[in-house]
């Protein structure tokens, strides 16, 4: 079993990253918000590229990625989605938690 370091606290890290991105944002206002949300499409494309590379689906390129690359890209998608949500609302933790609970109840039933 691989020994892994503990993950940083999710929401404090998302808050800090959001602050850092806001400080370094080249585009402000609604357009900046939309661009941050659009970043998700770029990250999902990188997941697709990694899956194609891990399975060698491009005969010209062969195997170019590992499944660990796919894992990392999926993590980037999750982080980017949480950052977009946090940019949209300062109550991202509560919004996400409430939505996750509704999905859990809908899918798994009540506790």
Phi, psi of 57 (to 5 degrees): -70, -20
Residue 111: CB partners within 8 Å, gap ≥ 6?
none
On the question of pLDDT at 11 being above 90, the answer is yes
Task: Name the residue with tokens 């990392």.
Answer: 72
pLDDT in tens, 48-86: 999 999 999 999 999 999 999 999 999 999 999 999 999
Please tell me the predicted confidence (pLDDT) of residue 4: 62
Q: What is the mean pLDDT of residues 5-24?
A: 89
* Orientation angle between helical segments 10-23 and 67-88, nearest 10 degrees: 70
The pTM (predicted TM-score) of the whole model is: 0.87
DSSP track, 55-101: HT--TTT-----HHHHHHHHHHHHHHHHHHHHHH-TTHHHHHHHHHH
Provide the pLDDT confidence category of residue 94 given band limits of 50, 70 and 90: very high
50 vs 44: CA distance, rounded Å? 10
């Amino acid at each position: 079993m691989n020994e892994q370091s503990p993950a940083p606290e999710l929401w404090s890290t998302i808050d800090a990253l959001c602050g850092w991105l806001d400080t370094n944002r080249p585009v402000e206002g609604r357009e900046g918000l939309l661009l941050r949300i659009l970043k998700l499409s770029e990250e999902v494309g990188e997941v697709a590229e990694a899956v194609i590379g891990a399975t060698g689906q491009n005969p010209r390129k062969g195997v170019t990625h590992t499944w660990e690359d796919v894992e990392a890209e999926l993590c980037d998608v999750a982080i980017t989605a949480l950052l977009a949500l946090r940019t949209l609302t300062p109550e991202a933790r509560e919004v996400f938690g409430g939505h996750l609970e509704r999905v859990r109840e809908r899918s798994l039933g009540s506790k």
